[in-house]
Amino acid sequence: MADGRDDDTAVNERIRIAVDERIRNTVNERLREDADFLQMHGIENAGMTIVTAPMDVQIIWHGVELLS
């Protein structure tokens, strides 16, 4: 830690985690909006499956992976 590199690494890791969380939250919010839009227009089961996990979002449409 004498040269401050370990401190920089810790700060960079915290920034990376915060950015990852922000991206994941934004994507999840958008997916909820899209699902609400589809339901509002009577397309409740359009063959779309949305799978979210802590660091991963997948969209599968009629068995085809659109986003991973």
Please determine, for residue 7, whether its predicted confidence score (pLDDT) is greater than 60.
yes
pLDDT in tens, 11-67: 888 888 888 888 888 887 887 787 777 777 666 555 666 665 655 666 666 666 665
- Pairing state of beta strands 64-67 and 56-61? antiparallel
- CA pair distance 26, 47, nearest whole angstrom: 23
> In the prediction, which pLDDT does 58 show?
64
Q: What percentage of the chain reaches a pLDDT higher than 70? A: 53
> In the prediction, which pLDDT does 26 show?
84
38: closest CA among 61, 22, 56, 66? 61
